Chain A
């Protein structure tokens, strides 16, 4: 009896980390190049944007909300930054500020719909997702933004992506670690500290667990729900900026898979260290988990069209694993 219980506790706590380690071992045996520093950095680089989105959505999950608009917010921020650069020739700082302002505004509007207008979170953010996907097409008449593009009135755009902007997406610190990875790690640490170590995070989890009780214990329920959605919006826009900087253009379709991957990362994060609740470290590791899996499968020449299936399968399995096992703990 005791051993069974111990094994189960162990599986709940370390199961996902164990699987991650196992994948690394298997992939590196199958394909020695997998474990090279360069490949590791490629994985981290591809994971970083998804992880940032996962961190944002984790904040909304903590207050028992959800944000389906993160992918389109990232895409819209990417278009905004590109537009400021290429069409207005506005420079790096302005591009970044404009993109983050877009993210914050989206978060505020989402929160207004959910908190004040009482629209259910899934519906509100789904509506916002469609709205943004459509809105990003309008200023450029549906075209992607790139240096030297022709504008509607026959003129050619004069601005370009500045070096310092592209640095964000492409450069490596000490020639090894990509800048997006550094930014992701900083955000992960900040989010972790905020949710786990500050009273604000504690109150957000309390709201997520029982809104009414939190309110009667004096918590500023509405305020913290606004905070969560604004965090989610801002994080998504940071993801969008990094995406624009990496590909060097405002691509209308490049944000497509971000929502799915970000949400998958956040939800797989529930299984990390047996948390069984949204958590920052889990979201980052969850995103890494998905990244390693896909990169490994790609190196082993698994067909691209099976990848979404595998992602979904891993997500479903991880969720069953956490909730199924932890509920039986009594």
Chain B
């Protein structure tokens, strides 16, 4: 345990991209042993600030002073040498897929020559083990990272980042792809670092994380620090300050679904899981929730034809139907907004417009030739509806901030009417005001389709759902109506271990109560 208290001063950081000033004069101080939560809407400049501090971008002006010493952070290596360690939002930037967990954890040491020329596997695992344990990563260390889930990859990236003891640790949206239990591991690791005198800048849209961890809060808006909060922390005030206006409580009343649109009959997610029936109706928004790998994602993948269920049948619009592949699902009127948009949804080489229109090119084409004026018009309608902030439809999609990219992905599937819209974690990396906009949009447009959303975050689920369906270890275990929900029961069902949820008489009763 170190007793050194690090003092970090960030002074007048400025950054312009062309004529667009992204950061005007960002200054703040942070002490070792404190967690500073940095709040900011999409496009506020958080990512730019993180990239500057970690040496990826160069600041136009400004300096960073650690313990009285002005440090050089003009490239990533120098920033790291100075003790600034960053875990970036995009997980795959922080890990190397084809190497094992142990090799990833020790990557920095392997690169800078702290190992001799010939690697002994034994020495490697011996050194990697304590690093993995620190963050509660209990997988075999010779597993390849490419075989891990997103959440485990995130943990590897974080464990690697803190393997060299940092002075300033920057975590950019670290929990956006973690389930609640996995997030708990992360929180423990952050608390350990804090106890060791590390200054932590924690960037997140999840208020629950911030409530748990933050010692101080800074609100960033339009490239300026607009609010600084010391304990006792005023969380709502911080959110208002970040948005520049007060955010209203969301309340919606339960909407009863109208017609049966999609019915799942005797579905088994795995061959040893219990069969279930589910009907999704037009007009309602159904949220599937559960921990990571609870089976929610498998349901959506099954409906969209990406994977086959172990057994079971479908009815679409009251007719027998079975998805062969995503293309067939789309042609049948089932659209899906995928999670992890970087890998599963974005076409990086394409403009905003081309990204939106991709699935529906046939609609704008005569004899195969694309009618670009119709395309432009349709895409325009769609991105106006989802309130994407953009300068021109012809700009590359990658010029947009993460939240806006997500809105574009939703705009893609709003371009055409569909029978069922599936959304897998649509609020990943989306700030609260955009999240409300998207949520409201999903609810107001739900009239003629079935809407099925996966939200691991219960808070998000409550904002948009008419019905919440809980999955746990590939079994459907409960269904709640939004107007009749008992939070403790819901939480218990989400977190229950598989031995408990079907044996505990208590929970059975709760479940049946909800249904009646």
A206 at the interface (CB under 8 A from B): yes
A205 within 8 A of B: yes
- Can you name the residue of chain A whose Cβ is closest to the Cβ of B370? A199
> A200: CB under 8 A from chain B?
yes
Q: Mark A48-88, 1 if CB is under 8 A from B, else 0.
A: 00000000000000000000000000000000000000000
Query: Total number of A-B contacts with CB less than 8 angstroms?
Result: 73
A213 and B365 contacting across the interface, CB-CB below 8 Å: no
* A-B contacts, 28 listed (Cβ < 8 Å): A197-B369, A199-B361, A199-B362, A199-B365, A200-B368, A202-B358, A203-B358, A203-B361, A205-B349, A206-B347, A206-B354, A209-B347, A209-B349, A209-B350, A210-B346, A210-B348, A212-B343, A213-B338, A213-B347, A214-B358, A215-B326, A215-B327, A216-B336, A217-B345, A218-B326, A218-B327, A219-B358, A330-B17
Closest beta carbon of chain A to B52's beta carbon, Å: 14
Q: Tell me if B365 and A198 are in contact (CB < 8 A).
A: yes
Nearest 3 A/B pairs, CB to CB: A199-B361, A209-B349, A218-B330
Determine if A206 and B358 form an interchain contact, defined as CB atoms under 8 angstroms apart: yes
| Complexed CA–CA distance, A198 and B346 (Å) | 20
Chain A contact residues: helix, strand, loop or mixed: helix
B2 contacts A by Cβ under 8 Å: no
CA distance A281 to B65 in the complex (A): 53
A208 within 8 A of partner (CB): yes
Interface size class of B (residues with CB under 8 A): 20 to 34
Of B18, B344, B364, the contact of A212 (CB 8 Å cutoff): B344
Assess the B326–A205 pair: CB atoms within 8 A.
no
Interface size on A, residues (CB 8 A): 24
Is B110 part of the contact surface with A, judged by Cβ < 8 Å? no
Indicate if B205 sits at the interface (CB-CB under 8 A).
no
Q: In the complex, how many angstroms separate the beta carbon of B387 from the nearest chain A beta carbon?
A: 22
Question: Which residues of chain A are near B361, meaning CB under 8 Å?
Answer: 199, 202-203
**Interface code A180-219, partner B: CB below 8 Å = 1, 0 otherwise?**
0000000000000100011110110110111011111111
Residues of A within 8 A of B327 (CB): 215, 218-220
Interface set, chain B 264-312, CB cutoff 8 A to A: 304, 306
Residues on A close to B: CB < 8 A? 5, 193, 197-200, 202-203, 205-206, 208-210, 212-220, 277, 330
In the complex, chain B residues whose CB is within 8 Å of the CB of A213: 338, 343-347
A274 CB to nearest chain B CB (Å)? 13
Nearest A residue (CB) for B325? A215
> What residue of chain B has the Cβ atom nearest to residue A213's Cβ?
B345
Give every chain A residue within 8 A of B331 (Cβ-Cβ).
218
Do the beta carbons of B359 and A217 come within 8 Å of each other?
yes
Could you tell me the distance between the alpha carbons of A214 and B331 in the complex, rounded to whole angstroms?
Answer: 15
Within 8 A of A (CB), among B307-360: 326-327, 330-331, 336, 338, 343-350, 354, 358-359
**Interchain CA distance A99-B350 in the complex, whole Å:** 37
- In Å, the complex CA distance between A213 and B398 comes to 15
- Which residues of chain A come closer than 8 Å to B326, judged between CB atoms? 215-218
Determine the distance from Cα of A206 to Cα of B350 in the docked complex, in whole angstroms: 7
Whether B80 is near chain A, meaning CB under 8 Å from some CB there, is: no
Closest residue of chain B to A277 (Cβ to Cβ) is B349
B329, closest chain A residue (CB): A218
A209 CA to B18 CA, complexed, in Å: 27
B343 touches A208 (CB 8 A): no
Complex contact A208–B354 (CB within 8 A): no
Chain A residues positioned under 8 Å from B349 (CB to CB): 205, 208-209, 277
